[in-house]
């Protein structure tokens, strides 16, 4: 067993700890890069969704492959670092967390793609009928802001971003519930396809934010030294 | 760097490789145990869903915490084994895959819970209106069978189970599409709440199967020696 702060010269004379810190920094930078791609994807998806812009929707749908590739490359790097450095304790948890965070980011990319797919599918019509336009505008704004804060969180590991994301997530959950209230109200006279679309769209928006909250919890565990997913995520 | 098959005596005189193999077997057994819990959860959820049995639905909803706890314990074990044994190459990939498989299983548990929650929410009414009853019966059967095959797959690592799961997943995807066709047809005269419920229920059933396919792909990578998530999962 190796202590995490053990110092051994490697072949280039640099100590292992320095190399390891540099590799951890590289992992973090790549997570930030994926989060930036996700922020761009949700921004464009929301624009495609609210303006029925089918070309933009296509761009988001195709662009999701890039996010998937970024996530896979990050995973390969993290696994490679684990194999070469044999980290233990907190160092190992940082790397395992980075695998989980990349999975959440990849899933956020999928959800942006799903939102874009709804826009493309319904084109040239709008996905959202008139009574719910402002609700979905706000949901989109919230997801975009959450994606932006998520980039900052991964960049700085400042937990204030996680708190802010969690607050916005609460607002998003309330909007998600309000969509169902609208759809189930007597005044709802939209055709079934509109009901299907807003049900799915609302769920995608809500899930997108959930993943950002999950990422924040991972960062929180690491920075507080706690690692209690059983209690927190049950 | 340690070679994966390096043999060193540990304090008890047993060689590291033997201990490691035993720990890998323990990881695998726990994955099987979680898959069994998921199989039970989807079986009960489907029964609660099709018979509007609210007590059964409650049982599934509460039971999901147990699946979450099982998944967290498995993750802790896998991380502990990585920290103590410092595995490389295929050994490390097996352990990282087990973390990913546990995440998929945990998510399958969530989806079973979501299906049960729909049953509870709509009680004493049935979730599914008459024209779609047989479709959802079949979707439920498929998910239950997929969950059963998933247990066998994790037990035996026999890829024939993965092939069978993938076949059933295709049938499930077709049923999922057919639900939308039904809802969007002119004959559909159900209230909006039924449209919302069947949209969500159909999505949950479809996603449940997707996760089993994902698990099969992880096992496939390991057994074929390929590890190419970028190509396969894009």
Q: What is the pLDDT of residues A161-216, one digit of tens each?
A: 999 999 999 999 999 999 999 999 999 999 999 999 999 999 999 999 999 999 99
Of B104, B97, B69, the residue nearest B82 (C-alpha): B97
Query: Hey, what are B105's tokens?
Result: 């299983």
A16-228 belongs to CATH 1.20.58.220: yes
In angstroms, the CA A132 to CA A50 distance is: 11
Asked if A196 is an interface residue toward chain B (Cβ–Cβ < 8 A), one would say yes
**Which of the residues B192, B196, B210 would you substitute to probe the A interface, choosing the one with the greatest number of A C-beta atoms within 10 Å?**
B192
- Closest-CA residue of chain A to B233: A68
Q: pLDDT tens digits, chain B, 234 residues: what are they? A: 444 444 444 455 568 789 999 999 999 999 999 999 999 999 999 999 999 999 999 999 999 999 999 999 999 999 999 999 999 999 999 999 999 999 999 999 999 999 999 999 988 888 999 999 999 999 999 999 999 999 999 999 999 999 999 999 999 999 999 999 999 999 999 999 999 999 999 999 999 999 999 999 999 988 776 554 533 333
Asked if B233 and A68 count as a contact pair (C-beta separation under 8 A), the reply is yes
Q: What is the pLDDT of residue B98?
A: 96
**Across the interface, do B192 and A200 touch by the CB < 8 Å criterion?**
no
Residue B131 is classified by DSSP as G
Helix or strand (DSSP H, E) at B216: helix B192-224
**Across the interface, do A72 and B203 touch by the CB < 8 Å criterion?**
no
Asked if A88 and B83 count as a contact pair (C-beta separation under 8 A), the reply is yes
CA-based end-to-end distance of chain B: 32
In angstroms, the CA A223 to CA A110 distance is: 28
Residues 6 or more apart whose CB falls under 8 angstroms from that of A232 comprise: A217, A221
* Residue with the larger pLDDT of the pair A180 and A227: A180
- Closest-CA residue of chain B to A192: B184
- Count CB pairs under 8 A between chains A and B: 93
Of B230, B211, B213, the residue nearest A65 (C-alpha): B230
**Which of the residues A192, A199, A233 would you substitute to probe the B interface, choosing the one with the greatest number of B C-beta atoms within 10 Å?**
A192
In angstroms, the CA A49 to CA A115 distance is: 7
CATH architecture of B16-233: Up-down Bundle (1.20)
Of B148, B137, B187, the residue nearest B37 (C-alpha): B148
pLDDT in tens, A80-121: 999 999 999 999 999 999 999 999 999 999 999 999 999 999
Instruction: Give residue limits of the domains in chain A.
Output: 16-228
Give pTM, 2 decimals: 0.90
Asked if A57 and A119 count as a contact pair (C-beta separation under 8 A), the reply is yes
Tell me the β-bridge partners of B9.
B15
Asked if A140 and A168 count as a contact pair (C-beta separation under 8 A), the reply is no
């Amino acid at each position: 067993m190796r202590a995490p702060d053990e110092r051994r010269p490697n072949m280039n004379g640099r100590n292992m700890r320095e190399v390891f810190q540099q590799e951890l920094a590289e992992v973090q930078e790549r997570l930030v890069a994926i989060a930036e791609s996700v922020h761009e994807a949700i921004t464009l998806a929301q624009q495609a969704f609210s303006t029925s812009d089918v070309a933009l929707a296509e761009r988001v749908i195709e662009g999701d492959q890039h996010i998937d590739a970024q996530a896979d490359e990050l995973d390969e790097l993290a696994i490679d670092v684990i194999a070469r450095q044999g980290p233990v304790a907190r160092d190992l948890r940082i790397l395992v967390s980075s695998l989980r965070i990349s999975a959440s980011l990849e899933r956020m990319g999928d959800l942006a793609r799903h939102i874009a797919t709804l826009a493309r599918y319904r084109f040239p019509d709008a996905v959202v009928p008139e009574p719910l336009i402002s609700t979905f505008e706000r949901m989109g704004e919230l997801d975009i802001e959450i994606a932006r804060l998520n980039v900052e969180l991964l960049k700085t590991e400042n937990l204030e971003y996680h708190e802010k994301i969690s607050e916005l997530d609460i607002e998003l959950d309330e909007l998600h519930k309000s969509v169902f209230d609208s759809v189930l109200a007597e005044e709802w006279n939209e055709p079934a396809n509109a009901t299907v679309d807003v049900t799915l769209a609302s769920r995608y928006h809500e899930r997108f934010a959930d993943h950002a909250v999950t990422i924040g919890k991972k960062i929180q565990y690491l920075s507080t030294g706690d690692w209690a997913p059983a209690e927190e995520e049950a």
